Amino acid sequence: GAVVSQHPSWVICKSGTSVKIECRSLDFQATTMFWYRQFPKQSLMLMATSNEGSKATYEQGVEKDKFLINHASLTLSTLTVTSAHPEDSSFYICSAIKGRMNEKLFFGSGTQLSVL
């Protein structure tokens, strides 16, 4: 079964509103989670690294004020797209590390965001 839960699976919102996406590790504690963005027919691009109890580390070109990340507990990271615009429409997917080995990287099922 899934070890990383992502919610919602899809969301449609009006331009200017904010949308929150949740990423939960179900049966393990994840001190580090990652948020990716994927445009249609393109690869995943890392947006930021979410660290429990500290500020997220954003990749170059990603607006930290636009994409707010909160990792308040060892099992939950949230991504909030603030004042969403149509160009923010994309597939957002999170991943979490289980244990200390690289290969134990699990992905959520993704969230399709459509901003009208």
Partner 1 sequence: AQKITQTQPGMFVQEKEAVTLDCTYDTSDPSYGLFWYKQPSSGEMIFLIYQGSYDQQNATEGRYSLNFQKARKSANLVISASQLGDSAMYFCAMTLGFNGGATNKLIFGTGTLLAVQP
> Token pair of 89, please?
């429409």
φ, ψ at 88 (rounded to 5°): -85, -10
Decide: is 28 part of the binding site for partner 1 (CB under 8 A): no
The CA-based angle 90-94-95, given to 5 degrees, is 150
Minimum distance, C-beta of residue 11 to partner 1, in the bound complex (Å): 14
Decide: is 18 part of the binding site for partner 1 (CB under 8 A): no
Q: Which is nearer to partner 1, 17 or 109 (CB)?
A: 109
Cα separation, 69 vs 90, whole angstroms? 17
> Token pair of 26, please?
């179900």
* Contact track, partner 1, 64-103, x by CB under 8 A: ---------------------------x-x-x-x-xxxxx
Sole binder of partner 1 in the list 46, 68, 74, 76 (CB under 8 A): 46
CB 33 within 8 A of CB 71: yes
Sole binder of partner 1 in the list 43, 53, 54, 87 (CB under 8 A): 43
